[in-house]
Amino acid sequence: MVGEVKEVIVVGGGIGGLAAAYGIAKLGKKVTLLEQAPEFGEVGAGLQVGPNGLRALDALGVLDEVYKLAVFPRRHVFMDALGGKELSAVQFGDSFSDRFGYPYIVIHRSDLHSVLLKACQSLTNVSFLTNHKLASIQEFNDYVELHCENGAVLQAETVIGADGIRSVTRKLVSQAEPVVSQYVAYRFTVPMSEMTINIDWDEKLTWIGPGIHLVQYPVRHKSVINQVAVFKSYKFNENNDDWGTVEELDQMFANSCSTIKESLKFAKSGMITKLYDIEPLEKWSTNRVTLLGDSAHAMLQYLAQGACQALEDAVCLTEKIRANGSNIAKALDDYQQERIPRTAEVQRGARTWGEIKHAEDSVTRLLRDTIMLNRSADDYRYLDWLYKERTVVTV
């Protein structure tokens, strides 16, 4: 049975959905968070948050709580996965923060999620519905109707679809399907006490090689090392799911240096993810429904911007709703007009950076490595487009 027409429903209780719910609820609107899982939580391990993501968290008013759980790397070091030598680095610290206004952090994904969940729980005008997986959505002149797989039927004046790369909400504006990249990620954490390699854990490392890379950094006050091993699967077949195996992982990293081989001893216990994104969309919004996060702009992880862009979305959407008062259609349109060009640029940039990281041709690798070896650690020109301040208003 359909009850009251809710003011705002946010579909999806991940980082982006929680951030949007919190920002919009602080405007005084009643927000209902819809989550398909039995409880609100986050799957995964480590997460990188650059200055643009921290700026958004600051605008939301939760940055201090995030900082309490974060690790602040001294540098991001790019290493040659085959030879084991340093290729380049980005120096964090004062010069980085002075340029971009904020530092660079790494944090456990569930820790950031927890901060945002607690913020939402602190507001009396946010309600939570778990075990509600969206099955279909239909928009009418005066309301939106949502049908869930558990039989529940809900109605809302406004719906924010933060329901991920396989979004049901997105079907209102696009039939876009996820695009497979042929790459696979093995994500795994290791207690610091079990790490036997000699690495400076005040740094974040990215090892790059032909068709492979490995990212390593500490989380949870450096008690745990987060690692992500990525490789291109040459057994990829769009007609079946039998690719990206542990055997392929071993084969692709067979020529890597001893440090990587030692690190990968733990990979088999990790979470395996096949990597997808979507093509940039031309439209996110209708009169009463819009998209946010991966449902709007799922991207490959090579710029570490998935969560950051979702946080930017949440702050922008909140501001547009505040600026347009009761004119929700105008707010949602202003939001998509501002966000689509930005996120499309980051989606395309992530694809390009993935190709650079994983270059297999020897000439391309030589050119890449030469450029990297000859730049200084405080040369931030290539990061300005991503991290420099944009128009963000405190919510």
pLDDT along the chain (395 residues), means of 10: 84 97 98 92 85 98 98 98 97 97 97 97 97 97 97 97 98 96 94 88 96 96 94 89 92 96 90 95 98 98 97 98 96 98 98 97 97 97 93 50
At what angle are helices 15-25 and 51-60 packed, to 10 degrees? 40
Strands (E), 113-223: 126-129, 134-139, 144-148, 153-161, 179-191, 203-209, 212-219
**Residue 349, H or E segment:** helix 328-357
Six-digit token pair at 394?
Answer: 């405190």
CB 66 within 8 A of CB 193: no
The pLDDT value given to residue 83? 96
Architecture of domain 5-177+278-387: 3-Layer(bba) Sandwich (3.50)
- Give the distance, in angstroms, between the CA of residue 139 and the centroid of all CA atoms in the same chain: 28
The pLDDT value given to residue 394? 45
The pLDDT value given to residue 332? 98
- Distance (Å, rounded) from C-alpha 157 to C-alpha 290? 12
Phi, psi of 282 (to 5 degrees): -85, -15
Domain ranges of the chain: 5-177+278-387
Place of tokens 């006050």: 221
Six-digit token pair at 340?
Answer: 């689509």
CB 360 within 8 A of CB 252: no
The pLDDT value given to residue 77? 98
The pLDDT value given to residue 393? 47
The pLDDT value given to residue 1? 47
- Distance (Å, rounded) from C-alpha 240 to C-alpha 29? 45
CA 196-197-199 angle, 5° bins: 130
- Distance (Å, rounded) from C-alpha 70 to C-alpha 67? 5
Phi, psi of 302 (to 5 degrees): -70, -15
Phi, psi of 334 (to 5 degrees): -60, -40
